[in-house]
Chains A and B, each alone.
Chain A
Amino acid sequence: MSTPYYVSPEQIRQDKEDFVRRGIAQAKEVVVLEYREGLLMVAENPRKTTFKISEIYDRIAFAAAGRIAEYEILRVVGIREAEIKGFRYYREDVTAKWLTNLYSQHMGAVAQAWDAKPLEIELLVCELGAADAPDGSTLRNNRIYHIAFDGIYSEEEKYAVIGGRATAITGILQQHYADDLELSAALQLVTDTFRTVEADAEDNYQITPQTIEVACLEQTVERRKFRRLSTDEVTALLS
């Protein structure tokens, strides 16, 4: 019987990370950004029904970059678990932190399994803060969690980016982001940022209202805060 070769844990981890990084490098970006009335999410996505951004629960939205088959199932499972929890207890007991941990544990387990390929995806889980929060500030109560392929997640402030050129986009946002932007100004900032990074890209992806997917979580009286913006609405906001 032959003895299996020893491979160090660092090596295994590094191999998986390199593998995922190559996959994610191809993925188009999604940006989430805090604006005056809530959280704006924008993705480079020309398709009409396959979304990168979607509604999970009353105040919670989901955005993903990477392989659609791999994140689509997590999106649906997230909705399922959120609805079960809300049905069992109370709708306000469903939080982005809880959902992030759920995804994180799952993605971490897949990444560590010796016989499985790590998920080539990155996720953002966003939650709109309650308008009647004790400190009176809706903005500071918004939550943005960024989950990497291996389940390691971080809590982000004001904005977050996933996808191949996340670092470049984050760099631009660092320079130009301002608090309390109007929805149109926030959308303009993201599209301008996309154009800047696309100017350096080879495929010359045109950023128009038809080629971006836009949604937001906004403070309204409705229970469901998620709203997908139509191409017409995006055109109007950018004009």
Chain B
Amino acid sequence: MLDLSDYGTSDFFHILKRRHPELLTTLNSSDVVPNPHVPESSFRHYEGTTVLAVVYDAGVVMAGDRQATEGYQVGERRIQKVYPVDRHSAIAVAGAAGPCIEMAKLFQVEVEFYEKTEGVSLSLEGQANFLSHLVRANLGLAMQGLIVLPLFAGYDVKRQSGRIFKYDAIGGRYEEDDYYAIGSGGKDARATLKKRYTPQINRQDALEIIVEALWDAADEDIATGGPDLIRKIFPILYTVTEDGVTEVPEATVEALYREFISRL
């Protein structure tokens, strides 16, 4: 017979921890202990870098570059760091790529599981709070240098505005009003956004300053990937508005970059 005992919890993470801890090896890692006899170089892994979010008049835009690094090498040129979560939210991740992607995937399933079992969407605030728990669950790995930091953004249907949440390594949750960027090039991207951002910015202007911010991040930070005009690889951008989460078409992003470069 099916085990019906955890009826009543809409927390998928809790169910996995209880029933299938083997599926959460990285996100439930307090028992992972480094072995001093194994050289650190054999633990090389991919790192994902700059992601950002910008509030604009109709919602929020989330964006991320496409590069993952492995030490001083390019590990992956087309990695995805921004993921839609539900109809009104998206998550972007920076840090150790494997656990990053796992966290984004688990978070998306968590929110959808809640929605399907309860019949109503988990509020944006509820999603932001839950993400704190996921970050905190990764503390064991974070202490060993495998840090995962998400940036979370969404359209708050009640407030009718875009909102951005950032996190620290121990699960602290902080809200940003206008824009934020994290990852190795986050500081450089923030510097550009700080100069170029204006409140109630429209979509086109928001996309333009994001393209510029990611360009500056790639220019200053070796781990951040710029637009690759030869391989046709461009950052991934999502807009989150009342109407849902929409990916900005690649052709639009390319056009934005070509226009930006022509002005340099």
Measured CB to CB, the residues of A under 8 A from B are 49, 51, 54-56, 73-74, 76-77, 79-81, 83-84, 86-88, 102, 105-106, 109-110, 224
Contact = CB atoms under 8 A, between A and B. Distances in A.
Contact of A55 (B6, B15, B109, B116): B116
A102 B117 contact: no
B116 A51 contact: no
B38 to A, nearest CB: 28
Interface of B: 1-4, 6-7, 12, 15-16, 19-20, 23, 105-106, 109, 112-113, 116-117, 119
Given A80-B15, A102-B2, A106-B1, A87 B109 contact: yes
Given A77-B2, A106-B1, A87 B116 contact: no
B12 A83 contact: yes
A77 B4 contact: yes
A60 B1 CA distance: 21
Given A77-B7, A79-B116, A79-B117, A84 B19 contact: yes
Given A84-B16, A110-B1, A56 B116 contact: yes
B23 A54 contact: no
A86 B15 CA distance: 14
A84 B20 contact: yes
Contacts, number: 49
Given A54-B116, A56-B116, A106-B2, A88 B7 contact: no
A76 B117 contact: yes
A197 to B, nearest CB: 28
A232 to B, nearest CB: 18
A49 B120 CA distance: 10
B119 A76 contact: no
Nearest to B105: A87
A71 B106 CA distance: 27
B2 A76 contact: no
Contacts of A106: 1-2
A19 to B, nearest CB: 19
Nearest to A91: B109
Contacts of B20: 84, 88
A51 B4 CA distance: 20
A49 B7 contact: no
Nearest to B12: A83
A87 B21 CA distance: 12
B2 A87 contact: no
Contacts of B119: 49, 51, 54
Contacts of B3: 77
Contacts of B19: 84
A110 B23 CA distance: 30
A83 B20 CA distance: 12
B2 A88 contact: no
B4 A87 contact: no
A73 B1 CA distance: 13
16 contacts: A54-B116, A76-B117, A77-B3, A77-B4, A77-B7, A79-B117, A80-B6, A83-B12, A84-B16, A84-B19, A84-B23, A87-B105, A102-B2, A105-B2, A106-B1, A109-B1
Contact of A79 (B2, B23, B113): B113
A83 B1 contact: no
A109 B109 CA distance: 30
Contacts of B112: 83, 224
A77 B7 CA distance: 7
A131 B124 CA distance: 33
B7 A73 contact: yes
**Residue in A55, A79, A105, A106 with the greatest tally of chain B CB atoms within 10 Å:** A79
B116 A88 contact: no
Given A51-B119, A88-B20, A83 B7 contact: no
A81 B4 CA distance: 11
A88 B16 CA distance: 10
A98 B12 CA distance: 20
